[in-house]
Amino acid sequence: MTGFPDVQAADHHILEGGRPAFTYFEGGQVVVGTEADRPPEGARQVLFEGAERLKGTVAVAAIVAGSAIDQVVILGGMAAVPEMLVDTRDHVRPIWRDGVLTLVTQFGRGGVLVPFEPPNNRPCCADH
């Protein structure tokens, strides 16, 4: 397992390698785990089966049926209905919750869901 200073550097490493992997925080660094490792609670899955199909706006039912994501929830814990739409913004980073790969979303414009993690994730207070 390799440590990185931030999630962007870790994601770049994973995407360049092209193999399913996840990230988590440990000792002030972002650590990359692979298929051989068990993801800890809250780990972000960066590459996973079906990730390449999650582009644009996709129904919750299609996300669950066509990828390794087991469930889609709305921030606060409410389960998303299969007919609801998710504007993936071409950036989907589900997390491991209770051993289940879970995409956490929030409401965007027009009632369409968006992944909670934005595509341009900046560390808190990075701009001041």
Residue type, 61: A
Residue ranges of the chain with per-residue pLDDT less than 50: 128
pLDDT value for 110:
93
Q: Model's pTM, two decimal places? A: 0.89
Query: DSSP characters for 35-86?
Result: TTSPPPTTPEEEE-TTGGG--SEEEHHHHHHHSS--EEEETTTEEPPTT-EE
Quote the pLDDT of residue 3: 85
- Report the pLDDT value the prediction gives residue 120, as an integer from 0 to 100: 79
DSSP assignment string, 109-121: GGG-EEESS-TT-
pLDDT for res 28: 86
What DSSP designation does 1 have? Answer: -
Check residue 35 and give its pLDDT: 84
Closest to 101 (Cα-Cα) out of 59, 19, 46, 55: 46
Whole-angstrom Cα distance, residue 26 to residue 18?
23
> Which structure tokens are listed for 123?
């560390």
